[in-house]
Structure 1
Amino acid sequence: MGCCLRQLQLFSTCMAFALGASVGTWKGAIGNWSMFIWCFCFILTLLILIVELCGLESHFPFSWDNFLITCNCYSALLCLSASVIYPIIYLQFLPNSHDWDRTIISTAFSCIAFVAYAMDVMWTRAQPNVITGYMATVPGLLKGLETIVAGVIFVFLSNTSLYLHQPALEWCVAVYFICFILSSVAILLNLGKCDNRLSIPFSIFQVVLTLLSVLLYATALLLWPLYQFSEELGRQLQRPSDVNCSSGLSTSVCIWDQQLAVVSLTAINLLIYVTDLVFSAHLDFNSS
């Protein structure tokens, strides 16, 4: 079953990548993000399949089941993000129906890859004597989502004209990086089994980190739209009707659309952090 699922993962990510390449997906930042996801998942799955077929799992100095669940969880979340972001951006800019069809099919294969990775996680967890990895738990999945949404935000922030020379907006960028690092630290501590080396219980440590991230993201959610869509600062409150915002290829996604994408993703990630905080606090309260 695991081998069949990995073959499906390889096929679907390869097809999504090939169809995306055929319509010039690599030309834009979002396209680069989607192509990276499909290529990364394909290579990672291929390496896992080779290791399993050669029976080399026991040669690694860590739990292979834990590593496998972690890789599949992250691959599922990455493919899910590509399946949502890629068509939203590309379908409105592609010039003809032929490219439209290939983009829709590419998105469909990305969705199939997401389902295949999610099924792989469930199948691995259902096996007897399997160590359930941190990423397969609700806190782990939420932490993974937080880092992936932050990654999409970084894609839009690659256009430095969105925030340079604006201290309030530069603070927002710092918030995104700080919170990304905090979530990554929580994940790495768990995966490296270093959570018991802290001077305080890891559950409390995680609640504190998540609370700090919630507060920081709240400031970003207030400052980013205030400074990006403020008419007093010479910004446009409504979407402009210039050609860059209404037509062309994905490389010409206008500044206003990028600003809106960042504030939308900020709100989504804040919601994820709040959910994480409530769930972590609930677990800590029940365990105490």
Structure 2
Amino acid sequence: MGFCLRVGQLLSTCVSFSLGASLGIWKESLANWCMFIWCLCFAMSLITSIVELCGLQCRIPCSWDGFLHAYSFHFGIICIVTSLIFGTSYIQVFSPGPAQNRAITATALSFVATLLYAIEVAWVCVRPGDMVCFVPTFPGVLRRLENYLACVIFPFISNTDLYQHQPALVWCVFVYSICFILGVVNFLVNGCDCDNDQKLPLRLPVLLWVQTVLSVLLYATAVILWPLYQFHEKLGGQPQRSSDMSCSDQLTTFVGIWDQRLVVAILTAINLLVYVADMVYLILEAFVWTEAQPRDSGFFSPAVSSPTSDVP
């Protein structure tokens, strides 16, 4: 079952990339991002298939089912975001004909890849193994949301013209990247049950505190600097959408540069609120709630687990 799903993932992402590349839109940052994601999904599915075919998963010091669940969930979200961005940005750009048909087919196959990743998540939950199912905890939902919002931000900052002229905006891109990497590391450590490995230098609660507090501080700077340097005229920004010629150019994409700036500013503010809610939850859990109350600071609470599993 897993092998069949991964063959479908390989085919759908490979064909989506090939069709997108054949449209000749390499100069478009959103198109480049979409094709990068399809390449990344293809590469990860290929590596996962090779690991399983060679039986190397037994040598990995963490739960393989946990890794498959975390990997499939993240890539499913990334694929659906990519499908929506590519479809809404490029299908209507081309007039009816072969080019538009290729754009439609690439979008459809990207949605197929999303479906296959979702099926793999469900399959990992129901098949016999070390972990039978996962129930997302409340803080786990918050931390997933943090990563998913970052996944939506990245396509819009793939256009380097948005930030490469200002060091403050480059700092914002660094903030989005480092917070996302920290979130993925924590997700994998918890979801793959790597926290049971005594070789790890830091335990999961410490990692969660470091990630959450650091992310709140970093996002607080980005939520100020990004709109300040993007929309303040004295700092080189464009306060009005009408002043951006790319928003009226219908030959490339329906999402202009000014629109991308606005979307990133809104998503940055939303993600900061999510990080603050996550930090408040950690503070309440550590200093207010009593030990007798249930604690669910991890990403998952396994509904059914093996006797050796102690994933929070």
Report the TM-score when normalising by structure 2. Answer: 0.71
Q: Which residue of 2 aligns with 1:7?
A: 7
Matches within 5 A, 1:112-261: 112-131=112-131, 137=136, 143=143, 146-147=146-147, 149-150=149-150, 153-154=153-154, 156-157=156-157, 159-164=159-164, 166=166, 168-187=168-187, 189-190=189-190, 191=192, 193-194=194-195, 202-203=204-205, 205-207=207-209, 209-233=211-235, 235-240=237-242, 243-246=245-248, 247-249=250-252, 254-261=256-263
Q: Given that residues 73 and 141 in structure 1 are in contact (C-alpha distance below 8 angstroms), is that contact kept between their aligned partners in structure 2? A: no
Q: Given that residues 228 and 235 in structure 2 are in contact (C-alpha distance below 8 angstroms), is that contact kept between their aligned partners in structure 1? A: no
Confirm or deny that 1:97 pairs with 2:96. yes
Cα distance in 1 for residues equivalent to 2:65 and 2:201:
29
Q: For this pair of structures, how many residues does the alignment match?
A: 284
One-letter identity of the residue aligned with 2:252 = L
Gaps of 5+ in 2: 297-312
Q: Which residue of 1 aligns with 2:304?
A: none
Q: Percent identity?
A: 46
**How big is the shift at 1:13?**
1.8
**How big is the shift at 1:182?**
3.1
Alignment equivalent of 2:264, drawn from 254, 262, 276: 262
Matches within 5 A, 1:12-161: 12-52=12-52, 54=53, 56-57=55-56, 60-62=59-61, 63-91=63-91, 94-98=93-97, 99-131=99-131, 137=136, 143=143, 146-147=146-147, 149-150=149-150, 153-154=153-154, 156-157=156-157, 159-161=159-161
Cα distance in 1 for residues equivalent to 2:252 and 2:227:
26
SS of the equivalent of 1:27 reads coil
Q: Given that residues 95 and 249 in structure 1 are in contact (C-alpha distance below 8 angstroms), is that contact kept between their aligned partners in structure 2? A: no
Cα distance in 1 for residues equivalent to 2:284 and 2:64:
30
Identify which range, 57-66 or 142-151, moves more after superposition.
Answer: 142-151
Q: Given that residues 9 and 113 in structure 1 are in contact (C-alpha distance below 8 angstroms), is that contact kept between their aligned partners in structure 2? A: yes
Q: Given that residues 34 and 86 in structure 2 are in contact (C-alpha distance below 8 angstroms), is that contact kept between their aligned partners in structure 1? A: yes
Cα distance in 1 for residues equivalent to 2:26 and 2:194:
38
**How big is the shift at 1:120?**
0.7
**How big is the shift at 1:243?**
4.9
**How big is the shift at 1:117?**
0.6
One-letter identity of the residue aligned with 2:194 = K
Gaps of 5+ in 1: none
Alignment equivalent of 1:287, drawn from 292, 295, 305: 295
Cα distance in 1 for residues equivalent to 2:55 and 2:199:
30
**CA 1:208–1:47: 2 relative to 1, 3 Å:** closer
Cα distance in 2 for residues equivalent to 1:47 and 1:21:
23
Report the TM-score when normalising by structure 1. Answer: 0.76
The CA RMSD measured in Å over matched residues stands at: 3.8
Cα distance in 2 for residues equivalent to 1:233 and 1:258:
18
**How big is the shift at 1:130?**
2.9
**How big is the shift at 1:154?**
4.8
Identify which range, 156-165 or 9-18, moves more after superposition.
Answer: 156-165
One-letter identity of the residue aligned with 2:129 = N
**How big is the shift at 1:124?**
1.0
Task: Answer 1 or 2: which has greater helix percent.
Answer: 1
